[in-house]
Amino acid sequence: MTAEKAAAGVVLMTLGVGQFLMTLDSSVMNVSIAYVANDLGTTVTGIQTAITLYTLVMATLMITGGKIGAMIGRRRAYAIGCIIYGAGSLTTALSPNLPVLILGWSFLEGAGAALIMPATVALVAGNFPAARRPTAYGLIAAAGAMAVAAGPLIGGAVTTFASWRWVFAGEVALVLLILVLIRKVQDTPVARKPRLDLLGVLLSILSLSGIVLGVLKAGEWGLIKPKPGGVEVLGISPALWLILGGLLVLWLFLLWERRLERRRLESGDVRSVEPLIRPSMLRNRQLDGGLLMFLMQYLIQMGTFFVIPLFLSVVLALNAIQTGLRLIPLSLALLVSAMGVPKLWPTASPRRIVRVGLLLMLAGLVLLIAGIDLDANAGVVAIPLLLLGLGMGALASQLGAVTVSAVPDEQSAEVGGLQNTAVNLGASLGTALAGAVLIASLTGSFISGIQESDDVPDPVKEQTSVQLSGGIPFLSDADLEQALKDAGATEAVAQDVMESNRRARIEGLDAALGVVALMTAAALFCTGLLPKRPPGAAGSEPAASAESSGSSPDPAIT
């Protein structure tokens, strides 16, 4: 029995360390945005692009990663994912510029994570009996929550006293540890080897990439009307064409997947190409509600995580460790809420818990918008971040059980892929949306301030309107002062420009948080899709069968 417990402990540690790594990256990078940008000679917008692409790569490849695991074995997929992830971490640690950072962090680490995360679900199922799986899943989720709590402090301390690069170098060491321990994890047997839906992979990547990149570039190019002097296609901003094109390809993707599902069912040929997703599953109301809430949760969460560190590190000029310390109320509240809600209210309505969580998050965002002004100090974020953390933790405590319990056990792997896709798509959209609104508002406010100044010469005003209309960087006072000094600006002009930049930054931050708050309020209207009773409770609806959930009884799966 002791040997069994030791073996189980090794499995949990191996998978838990992997989950810790997946979550650590984003929290570390958000705290160190300004430092990374300065080190690589780029802007906040450049780092925003890297963050967005990291989550976008995971979102577009997550379902594909799960299918590859089903083809080659989950343990092998997990190990290969770790190798790719470790190569990405090493590339990131050594990156001399933004393109190399994007290659290492956004693409290699994102692709590695797309293999690791779906395999984790199957490996837990293969190494623990059904009665112990909820505890195992809970402990692995707790490892992710620990990364959310510790990530800002770890990133802040390492960045302040050494370099942000050492965080990624440390990840390489953890990957090597995982590769040693993964041999102790029992593999999940591959009962069949489905053929990969290559056209579905291509269509899914194109559709999600078009939508997210369109949102990301909306602040720079304009959403509908192109910015003056900017690129246009038939008089319309390329951002709108990207979004519309992405939606069109998404429709084609669903049509293709529906065709594959129908053809596979009618022929009964298990050797035919298996669809990446079965559209019939998406007729399940509870599953749809859980997936939508996952997307909204991470859209709100990552949008907030992108904006607040900029206020602390750029506007208030706090160093990375001070920024990390200021984020601790959110991290600890999230951890306490995620673990405490199920223990204190095990029979509470998931719908009610999620609604309370969203209201807490909305209250936190409103307080942030009210508190962030030209005279604000770091203390204004404490209570709002506490409320945000409690709300995020409340959602985290419910949504996993809602989605998994919506379908029979044999479909849980597919649900895991859809869930991870929703999470990372929400994170991509949250970062892209908050960044686009921030830069658009910042640019408009800054140019308006320059135009209204009596000390700035008219030729400079005209040049500013033309050259900066595409977007200006989110600069600290010190960086802008140095740039003005290098440009030979007079003291009066420099003072006006500095003041315009201070006002524009606050308006940009408020606008970005305002959009996130609107998305939070909109999410409240979608909570009716969630169940009233917790899964497994007396009177709750059981997991639907393949027929009642709208899923076809595919012989290759059942």
3-state secondary structure string across 483-500: HHHHHCCCHHHHHHHHHH
**Bridge partners (DSSP) listed for residue 233:** 236
Q: Which residues contact 189 (CB under 8 A, 6 or more apart)?
A: 73, 126
What's at 385, amino acid-wise?
L
Contact 502, 509 (CB under 8 A): no
pLDDT for 387 equals 94
List the structure tokens of 171.
Answer: 């990840």
Query: Rounded to whole angstroms, how far apart are CA atoms 376 and 371?
Result: 7
List the structure tokens of 86.
Answer: 């470790």
66-79 burial: b if 16+ Cβ within 10 Å, else e: bbbbbbebbbbbbb
Distances (CA, A) of 558 to 192, 345, 408, 411, 548: 12, 35, 10, 8, 15
Identify which of 44, 36, 33, 25 has the alpha carbon closest to the alpha carbon of residue 438: 44
Torsion angle, CA of 450/455/456/458, rounded to 10 degrees?
110
Provide the 10 A C-beta neighbour count for residue 347: 11
Query: Rounded to whole angstroms, how far apart are CA atoms 450 and 498?
Result: 10
pTM: 0.80
Contact 238, 24 (CB under 8 A): no
Query: Rounded to whole angstroms, how far apart are CA atoms 279 and 272?
Result: 17
pLDDT for 191 equals 61
Q: Which residues contact 99 (CB under 8 A, 6 or more apart)?
A: none
Instruction: Output DSSP code: residue 280.
Output: G
Which stretches of 41-132 are DSSP H helices? 44-72, 74-93, 98-101, 110-127
Identify which of 200, 299, 210, 205 has the alpha carbon closest to the alpha carbon of residue 259: 200
pLDDT for 550 equals 43
Query: Rounded to whole angstroms, how far apart are CA atoms 30 and 24?
Result: 10
- For 405-516, strand residue ranges (E) read none
Query: Rounded to whole angstroms, how far apart are CA atoms 216 and 290?
Result: 25
In the three-class reduction of DSSP (H, G, I as helix; E, B as strand; rest coil), residue 236 is classed as: strand
Q: Which residues contact 173 (CB under 8 A, 6 or more apart)?
A: none
pLDDT per residue, tens digit, the chain (558 aa), is 465 666 677 778 888 888 888 777 777 776 777 788 888 888 877 887 888 788 788 878 888 887 888 778 888 889 999 999 999 999 999 999 999 999 998 899 989 988 888 888 778 767 777 666 656 766 776 677 677 667 777 877 888 788 888 988 988 998 998 898 888 887 766 666 667 788 888 998 898 888 888 887 776 777 777 776 667 777 788 888 998 999 999 999 999 988 888 887 777 665 567 777 778 777 888 888 888 998 998 899 888 888 888 888 888 888 778 887 888 888 788 878 877 887 888 788 889 999 999 999 999 999 999 988 888 888 888 999 999 989 988 888 888 778 877 777 666 667 777 887 888 788 888 888 888 888 878 877 777 777 666 666 666 555 555 455 555 667 777 777 777 777 777 777 778 778 887 888 888 889 999 999 999 999 999 898 888 877 655 445 544 443 334 443 333 332
Q: State the sign of the Cα–Cα–Cα–Cα dihedral 270, 275, 276, 277.
A: negative
For helices 412-452 and 285-310, angle between their N-to-C axes, nearest 10 degrees: 40
List the structure tokens of 359.
Answer: 């209201």
Residue with the two structure tokens 């092998």: 76
